[in-house]
């Protein structure tokens, strides 16, 4: 049962966000708002450590109802008969409603996730809106092919073949807490454009914007069951993965949970797309301006407090620039102002939870114990909330834990190299394969890195840039499948071959 709680502390949030938080949060199942069957848990503002709402925790039974609603909408309901242009219009209407309420959504994101308000408003909301509108356009552009087959063993007959692209069906979508609204849009928009129906399970750490989105889905007029949103934790996620009426799971989260999903999905042979963790390298070649390199490297690791799957968490610097870049990076890190996301002076907010802060602190202690040289940060400031100072370690050996494991926090491992070959080998010395960047004015060398880096996304003189038109995803322990660009049409449709005997 969800309960109304007194809103204790909602920072600089405006009236609409406060009103939203003052009402019980509910799941969206089959077009209606319902109570979760599980116990609710507090939603914590990570900047203060205080509860701001109660999040309903969906159970396996809630997931079952949502999946059955999505199944019905896909097989028999109003959604099934919608033409592509109608799906496109619904998605565009949803985008208009998000734009109308963008300030409120940004405030809720800052309260729930801790990111600074300008980033939530101009970064997350812009990317979510652009992605939704971009994906809406695909609804009317799904095409198959026409083939002239030979069938040479029946020479007296003529044939024509076509491929049709059909929606996969009911899609279970499970997302993390680092970009809650963006992740929700990246999941539901392409699936709905393709004609699928969805059950979205946001992270239990950050349910607010997804549950606000649920209201806008209803206001936009989506048919009942097309979009279901069930908040909850691992129990709800597992129920979705194991449900026999779900055709596909799209997951973004940790590699460990991705592996668990892959094992469980084998029983029903579900299609999967998995966007998992990373340990992305940033390579600075010797022709770089050290100021530019330090600024670029700081942005690559400290963006969203390091809680980014493509965070540039390993910095490889040519030995001739090693100390100059380190010195500048340490100055940037030491100068960063931490604060509540509503504080205009804040450049970096808190980490998502006390657990995450303690996990980050554990990596820092481990790196010290293994002999890395601390040059900035390395501690949680003595204040309320889950803050951690931006941290830089130099002289990190490739075998140290800090060079191998994803921290998912503002901790950078820096190491020197002497030759291009060594830099490429170091950059690729990882089990992940998500992001990578190379910094140089020499585009011939940049291209060699772009081709040689084992990563799904390579940036030259940039890092963490995302656009709805550019495919995004990884390989190896970073998962598989691509979001954005054309790629989701492959993710959310099945090809069907149809052959006609022309006599
Ligand atoms: P997480 O794996 O702990 O949780 C992700 C989601 O899975 C949550 O909604 C959670 O409730 C759910 N879940 C947990 N256990 C489950 C289970 N056994 N079965 C099904 N669902 C389950 O990840 P997180 O801590 O929320 O997010 C951080 C991780 O996400 C990092 O590893 C990060 O790299 C990754 N991430 C990847 C991308 C990408 O695009 N590659 C983007 C953002 C985050």
Q: Is 391 in the pocket of ligand 1 (CB under 6 A)?
A: no
Q: What is the pLDDT of residues 431-490, one digit of tens each?
A: 999 999 999 999 999 999 999 999 999 999 999 999 999 999 999 999 999 999 999 889
How many whole angstroms from its chain centre is CA 9? 27
Say whether 288 is catalytic: no
Question: Distance between the two ends of the chain, CA-based, in angstroms?
Answer: 64
Instruction: Tell me which residue has tokens 């848990």.
Output: 41
List the beta bridge partners of residue 173: 200, 250
* Active-site annotation holder among 288, 309, 406, 483: 309
Mean pLDDT score of the chain: 96
**Tens-place pLDDT, residues 337-390:** 999 999 999 999 999 999 999 999 999 999 999 999 999 999 999 999 999 999
User: Is 449 close to ligand 1, i.e. is its CB under 6 Å away?
Assistant: no
Confidence of residue 12 (pLDDT cuts 50, 70, 90): confident
Question: What is the C-alpha separation between 187 and 198, in angstroms, rounded?
Answer: 9
Residue 4 pLDDT class (50, 70, 90 cuts): very low
**Distance between CA atoms of residues 487 and 273, nearest Å:** 11
Q: What is the pLDDT of residues 20-45, one digit of tens each?
A: 999 999 999 999 999 989 989 999 99
CA of 388 to the centre of ligand 1 (A): 21
Q: Is the pTM of this model over 0.85?
A: yes
CA 156 – ligand 1 centroid, Å? 56
Contacts of 60 (CB under 8 A, 6+ apart): 235, 236, 238, 239
Asked if residue 327 has pLDDT above 80, the reply is yes
* Separation of CA 205 and ligand 1 centre (Å): 11
Tokens of residue 166, six digits? 């059909």
Q: Which residues contact 159 (CB under 8 A, 6 or more apart)?
A: 149, 151, 499, 500, 501, 502
Q: Which DSSP letter does residue 336 get? A: P
**Pocket perturbation via mutation, ligand 1, pick of 60, 176, 179, 277 by most ligand atoms within 8 A of CB:** 176
pLDDT score recorded for residue 9: 56
pLDDT, tens only, 418-434: 999 999 999 999 999 99
- CA atoms 466, 471, 475, 481: torsion sign: positive
CA–CA gap between residue 377 and residue 364 (Å, rounded)? 10
- pLDDT, mean of residues 480-503: 95
Using most ligand atoms within 8 A of CB, pick from 205, 254, 483 the residue to mutate for ligand 1. Answer: 254
pLDDT score, position 77? 86
Cα(287) to ligand 1 centroid in Å equals 38
The verdict on the CB of residue 178 being under 6 Å from ligand 1 is: yes
**Would residue 275 show up in a list of annotated catalytic residues for this protein?**
yes
Torsion over CA: 255, 257, 258, 264 (sign): positive
């Amino acid at each position: 049962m969800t309960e109304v709680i007194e809103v204790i502390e909602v920072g600089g949030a405006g009236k609409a966000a406060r009103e939203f938080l003052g009402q019980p949060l509910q799941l969206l199942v089959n077009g209606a708002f319902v109570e979760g069957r599980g116990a609710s848990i507090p939603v914590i503002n990570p900047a203060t450590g205080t509860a701001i709402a109660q999040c309903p925790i969906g159970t396996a039974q809630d997931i079952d109802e949502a999946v059955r609603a999505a199944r019905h909408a896909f097989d028999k309901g109003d959604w099934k008969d919608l033409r592509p242009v109608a799906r496109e219009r619904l998605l565009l209407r949803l985008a208009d409603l998000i734009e109308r309420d963008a300030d409120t959504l940004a405030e809720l994101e800052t309260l729930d996730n801790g990111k600074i308000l300008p980033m939530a408003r101009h970064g997350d909301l812009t990317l979510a809106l652009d992605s939704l509108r971009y994906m809406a356009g695909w609804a009317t552009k799904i095409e198959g092919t026409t083939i002239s087959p030979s069938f040479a063993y029946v020479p007296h007959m003529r044939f024509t073949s076509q491929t049709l692209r059909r929606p996969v069906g009911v899609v279970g979508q499970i997302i993390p807490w680092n970009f809650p609204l963006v992740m929700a849009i990246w999941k539901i928009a392409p699936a709905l454009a393709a004609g699928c129906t969805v059950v979205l399970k946001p992270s239990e750490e950050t349910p607010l914007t997804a549950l606000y989105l649920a209201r806008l889905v209803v206001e936009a007029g989506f048919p009942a069951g097309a979009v279901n949103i069930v908040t909850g934790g691992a129990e709800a996620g597992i129920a979705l993965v194991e449900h026999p009426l779900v055709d596909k799971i799209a997951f973004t989260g940790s590699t460990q949970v991705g592996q668990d999903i892959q094992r469980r999905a084998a029983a029903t042979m579900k299609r999967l797309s998995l966007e998992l963790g990373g340990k992305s390298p940033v390579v600075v070649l010797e022709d770089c301006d050290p100021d530019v390199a330090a600024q670029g490297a700081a942005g690559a690791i400290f963006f969203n407090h390091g809680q980014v799957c493509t965070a540039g968490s390993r910095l490889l610097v040519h030995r001739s620039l090693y100390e100059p870049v380190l010195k500048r990076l340490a100055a940037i890190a030491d100068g960063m102002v931490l604060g509540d996301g509503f504080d205009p002076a804040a450049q970096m907010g808190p980490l998502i939870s006390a657990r995450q802060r303690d996990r980050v602190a554990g990596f820092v202690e481990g790196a010290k114990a293994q002999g890395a040289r601390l040059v900035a940060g390395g501690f949680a400031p003595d204040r309320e909330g889950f803050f951690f100072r931006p941290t830089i370690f130099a002289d990190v050996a490739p075998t140290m834990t800090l060079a191998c494991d994803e921290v998912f926090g503002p901790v950078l491992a820096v190491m020197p190299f002497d030759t291009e070959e060594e830099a490429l080998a170091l950059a690729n010395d990882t089990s992940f394969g998500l992001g990578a960047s190379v910094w140089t004015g020499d585009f011939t060398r940049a291209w060699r890195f772009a081709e040689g880096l084992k990563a799904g996304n390579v940036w030259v003189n940039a890092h963490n840039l995302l656009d709805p038109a550019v495919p995004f995803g990884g390989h190896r322990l970073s998962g598989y499948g691509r979001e954005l660009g054309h790629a989701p049409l492959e993710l959310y449709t099945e090809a069907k071959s149809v052959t006609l005997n022309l006599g």
